[in-house]
Amino acid sequence: MPRKYVRFNYFEVQLVPAPVVLRDELNEGNQEIELLEEEHADSWDMSGFLDYLMTHLEFNTNVAVGDEYAEIEIDSYTYDRVRNIYGFQLSKLRDKNIPSKKRFGEIKEEILLDQDQFIGEFVSVLFDQSYGSIALQSNLYGLSAKQTENVLTQLRFRYLDEIGHTEEVPLMVRLAPIIDRSKIERVIRADYFKKIRVKGSNIMLDANLGEESFLSDARRLLNEVAGVNFDITISLGRAEKTASLDDNSI
């Protein structure tokens, strides 16, 4: 029996305040919404939302994601009562850049879709109610974490409308990565370094990074140019296989 290996990324499911706008101005996911300055984020217990979706299969889960669409597969809902874990699949639907079928030595054959047909790419999602966390399948062709945030935000707004609940300030879904501390410790204890990559965003700008450090310099540059993100990679040039970047600098 063939095996299929699936890798998951892990996130805490949070709700963060968004600007006070009418929900129809959210434009079903087509409009980028700038968050307010960093405020307290609450954990979102998705169980009530998922229980509703599992018992109301007529609920419309179709959401526009740029030029594509996304929806929850209606036959993919699962619930493990023992472990208190929900599961479902999100599909990304596209009708552009359709691949062709091909055999060796034969002319390629175009795949023709009907007007209401799409190519579907899928990611599996597990929600652990006990820990308030999500395991999101890592899939190159499916929805990204940011797109999943957008889809869940739109569906949550739609769900609140269905049950007649309103919020004074709309709350948006944020997937906060859960860091594997053991991997950080493994890097710190490494004997040599071939490459190091540092990524940062606006959540680091107010961190206490010290006055004389590489990251503090990066923070000052970000403030000067009014930037919010940086991504720096330093790798070893041509050298012996046993060579390493300077560990003190790293």
pLDDT digits (tens, 9 = 90+) for 146-169: 999 999 999 999 999 999 998 888
Extract the tokens encoding 72.
């929850």
Are 93 and 162 found together in one domain? yes
Q: What is the identity of the amino acid at 130? A: S
E strand or H helix that includes residue 147: helix 145-162
Q: How many domains does the chain have?
A: 2
Are 161 and 206 found together in one domain? no
C-alpha closest to that of 74 among 98, 97, 108, 50? 50
Q: How confident is the model at residue 38 (pLDDT cuts 50, 70, 90)?
A: very low
Are 24 and 42 found together in one domain? yes
More confident residue, 219 or 190: 190
Are 87 and 168 found together in one domain? yes
Are 125 and 205 found together in one domain? no
Are 33 and 154 found together in one domain? yes
Is residue 157 one of the residues assigned to a domain?
Answer: yes
Last residue of a domain, one of 139, 157, 177: 177
- Residue 96 buriedness (CB in 10 A; 0-12 / 13-18 / 19+): exposed
- Work out the end-to-end distance of the chain between its first and last CA atoms, rounded to an integer number of angstroms: 45
CA 84 and chain centroid, separation:
22
Q: How confident is the model at residue 37 (pLDDT cuts 50, 70, 90)?
A: very low
Is residue 64 one of the residues assigned to a domain?
Answer: yes
pLDDT of residue 33: 44
Are 129 and 50 found together in one domain? yes
More confident residue, 95 or 38: 95
Are 188 and 122 found together in one domain? no
Last residue of a domain, one of 129, 158, 177: 177
Collapsing DSSP to helix, strand or coil, 178 comes out as coil
Q: How far apart are CA 224 and CA 233, in angstroms?
A: 21
Is residue 66 one of the residues assigned to a domain?
Answer: yes
Backbone φ and ψ for 52, nearest 5 degrees, come out as -65, -45
Determine the average pLDDT of the residues in 20-28.
47
Collapsing DSSP to helix, strand or coil, 206 comes out as coil
More confident residue, 91 or 193: 91
Is residue 192 one of the residues assigned to a domain?
Answer: yes
Are 78 and 194 found together in one domain? no
Range of the domain at 13: 8-177
Collapsing DSSP to helix, strand or coil, 73 comes out as coil
Are 30 and 135 found together in one domain? yes
Last residue of a domain, one of 162, 177, 192: 177
pTM > 0.75: no
